[in-house]
Structure 1
Amino acid sequence: MPAATRSPARRTLGDRLFLTALIGLPLLALLLFVLLPALASVALSFTTWDGIDLAGIDWTGVENYTQILTNYPPFWPAVAHNVLWLLFTALLPTPFGVFLAYQLDKKIRFTRFYQTAIFLPMVLSLAVVGFIWEIIYDPDTGLLDSVLAAAGTGAHPDWLGDPDLNLWAVLVASAWRHTGYIMILYLAGLKSFDPALKEAAALDGANGRQTFFRVVLPALKPVNVIIVVVTVMESLRAFDIVYVLGGGTGSKPGMELLSLLITDNIIGESGHIGYGSALAVLLLLVSLAAIGAFLAQTFRRQDT
Structure 2
Amino acid sequence: MTLTLTGYVDLPAHEATGGFDHAAVHAASGHVYVAHTANNAVDVFDPVARKHLYSVPDLATVAGALVSDESRLVFTSNRGENTIGVFAPGPDPKVTKIAVGVRPNGLAYDPRRRLVLAANVGDPAVPRSCTISMVDLDAGATRASIEVPGRTRWAVFDADADLFYVNIMHPSQIVVIDARAPDRIDRTIAVPADGAHGLDFDPATRRLFCACDAGRLITLDAGSGKVLNDSRLSGVPDVVWFNARRQELTVAVGHPGAVDVFDTRSMASLGAVATEKGAHTTALPPSGDGLYVFLPATHRAAIFRSAS
User: Is TM-score (shorter-chain normalized) higher than 0.5?
Assistant: no
Structure ID, larger Rg: 1
- Which one has more relative contact order, counting CA pairs under 8 Å at least 6 apart? 1
Larger % of helix: which? 1
TM range (shorter): under 0.3
> Normalized against structure 1, the TM-score is what?
0.20
